[in-house]
């Protein structure tokens, strides 16, 4: 089949996406597909051949458009699109909605589910209704006053939309909270403030409705931030996670319930923290990383699925 792998874009997670795209394109080519790997925010010449060499431009050389000229036309020439994008228009459902308008098949969750997953406040509201335990917290828009009764220290401050732990900060008191909010509101208009939970970090990947083995995440220094996620050797990742059978089963059910509530059972990764014997769902990633340090490929490998097979399985969701 002719497959377009979209990567890059203009989000803060651009570099991670470029790495994911390269690996996905190589894997799908290995499986016998004709692949065009392109930068979502770059302009593509009319008639670009599948299999052409891809050399990403520096961000400052891009036009600044979320979707470059010729991208939709190239996708219309394909049998399906594989989005290897993280953050921004690539992950928040807007790209998927645009492709749907042109009748272009696209792997992964549907556009509305992607939009909900990207919105931490909305997704947790739906998960809570579905019976999934989530941390206590509140959302705050830029310019809104803080209700002190809604904030319990220590707490964690996160952009309401975004991934890869970009912009995450912790606060133990009001002065640290004020600094964290000032920094956050320089880059986002809405944040969530949640209780800081101490415990074991775990994640469960879901592909085509199937939950993969859980991974335990143990950063060697600090928390699981952008640096620890993408620096080889910075984090110990244990798969399958050392859980009892009962715990593993409970975690799997919680992950499926969370993904079902948001509508991302086609593809996602669900992040948890195990604290006080309770699995708290932290967030859902509708387009998990596909780099050499990413967790979804690790879980798939533990389940007996190599990287090209994983990419093929994700590609099936387009059909």
Beta strands in the chain (DSSP E): 2-7, 34-39, 80-83, 137-141, 155-159, 169-171, 190-195, 200-207, 210-211, 215-219, 235-238, 267-275, 278-285
Residue 26 bears catalytic tag: no
C-alpha distances in Å from residue 315, one per residue of 1, 20, 33, 80, 207: 11, 14, 11, 8, 10
Structural domain 2-106, CATH architecture = 3-Layer(aba) Sandwich (3.40)
On whether the CB atoms of residues 259 and 206 are closer than 8 A, the answer is yes
Mean pLDDT of 182-200: 90
Residue 31 bears catalytic tag: no
Which member of 164, 228, 254, 294 is catalytic? Answer: 164
Mean pLDDT of 66-78: 96
Asked whether residue 267 carries a pLDDT value surpassing 60, the answer given is yes
Distance CA(28)–CA(196), nearest Å, equals 40
> Is residue 222 very low, low, confident or very high in pLDDT (cuts 50, 70, 90)?
low
Which member of 8, 90, 93, 289 is catalytic? Answer: 289
Which member of 17, 41, 285, 294 is catalytic? Answer: 285
Residue 53 bears catalytic tag: no
Which member of 9, 39, 271, 280 is catalytic? Answer: 271
Specify the CATH number of the domain 137-195.
3.30.1490.20
Residue 228 bears catalytic tag: no
pLDDT of the residue at 164: 46
> Is residue 186 very low, low, confident or very high in pLDDT (cuts 50, 70, 90)?
confident
Mean pLDDT of 19-24: 96
Which member of 123, 269, 280, 294 is catalytic? Answer: 269
In this structure, which long-range contacts are made by residues 15-19, counting pairs with CB atoms below 8 Å and at least 24 apart in sequence? Answer: 16/86, 16/164, 16/230, 16/289, 16/291, 17/84, 17/85, 17/86, 17/87, 17/90, 18/56, 19/291, 19/292
Which member of 11, 13, 41, 225 is catalytic? Answer: 13
Which member of 230, 254, 263, 294 is catalytic? Answer: 230
Residue 285 bears catalytic tag: yes
Residue 148 bears catalytic tag: no
pLDDT of the residue at 227: 52
> Is residue 166 very low, low, confident or very high in pLDDT (cuts 50, 70, 90)?
low
pLDDT of the residue at 163: 54
Name the residue ranges covered by the structural domains of the chain.
2-106, 116-133+198-316, 137-195
pLDDT of the residue at 148: 76
Asked whether residue 19 carries a pLDDT value surpassing 50, the answer given is yes
Structural domain 116-133+198-316, CATH architecture = 2-Layer Sandwich (3.30)
How deeply is 234 buried, as exposed, middle or buried, from its count of CB atoms within 10 A (0-12, 13-18, 19+)?
middle
Distance CA(198)–CA(205), nearest Å, equals 22
Residue 195 bears catalytic tag: no
Distance CA(160)–CA(191), nearest Å, equals 5
Sign of CA dihedral 9, 13, 19, 21: negative
pLDDT of the residue at 232: 61
DSSP 52: -
> Is residue 12 very low, low, confident or very high in pLDDT (cuts 50, 70, 90)?
confident
- What percent of the chain has pLDDT above 70? 94
- Mean predicted lDDT score pLDDT of the chain: 92
Predicted TM-score (pTM) above 0.85 = yes
Asked whether residue 223 carries a pLDDT value surpassing 70, the answer given is no
Residue 224 bears catalytic tag: no
Least confident segment among 97-106, 159-168, 279-288? 159-168
- What percent of the chain has pLDDT above 90? 79
Least confident segment among 22-36, 110-124, 153-167? 153-167
pLDDT of the residue at 79: 98
Identify the residue with better confidence: 226 or 284: 284
On whether the CB atoms of residues 119 and 191 are closer than 8 A, the answer is no
């Amino acid at each position: 089949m002719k497959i377009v792998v979209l990567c890059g874009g203009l989000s803060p997670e651009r570099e991670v996406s470029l790495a994911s795209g390269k690996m996905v394109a190589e894997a799908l080519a290995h499986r016998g597909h004709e692949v065009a790997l392109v930068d979502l925010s770059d302009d593509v010449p009319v008639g670009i051949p599948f299999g052409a060499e891809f050399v990403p431009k520096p961000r400052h050389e891009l036009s600044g458009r979320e979707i470059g000229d010729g991208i939709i036309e190239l996708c219309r020439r394909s049998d399906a699109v594989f989005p290897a994008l993280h953050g921004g228009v690539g992950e928040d459902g807007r790209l998927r909605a645009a492709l749907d308008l042109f009748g272009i098949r696209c792997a992964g969750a549907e556009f509305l589910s992607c939009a909900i997953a990207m919105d931490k406040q909305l997704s947790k509201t739906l998960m809570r209704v579905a019976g999934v335990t989530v941390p206590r917290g509140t959302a705050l828009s830029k310019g809104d006053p803080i209700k002190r009764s809604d904030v319990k220290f220590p707490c964690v401050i996160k952009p309401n939309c975004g991934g890869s732990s970009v912009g995450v900060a912790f606060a133990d008191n009001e002065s640290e909270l004020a600094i964290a909010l000032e920094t956050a509101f320089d880059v986002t208009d809405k944040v969530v403030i949640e209780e800081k939970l101490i415990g074991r970090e775990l994640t469960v990947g879901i592909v085509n409705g199937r939950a993969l083995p859980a991974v335990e995440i143990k950063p060697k220094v600090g928390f699981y931030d952008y640096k620890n996620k993408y620096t080889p050797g910075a984090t110990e990742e244990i798969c399958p996670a050392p859980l009892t059978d009962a715990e593993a089963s409970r975690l799997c059910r919680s992950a499926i319930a969370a993904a079902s509530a948001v509508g991302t059972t086609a593809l996602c990764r669900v992040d948890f923290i195990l604290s006080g014997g309770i699995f708290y769902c932290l967030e859902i990633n509708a387009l998990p990383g596909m780099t050499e340090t990413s967790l979804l490929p690790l879980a798939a490998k533990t389940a007996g699925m190599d990287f090209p097979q994983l990419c093929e399985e994700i590609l099936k969701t387009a059909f």
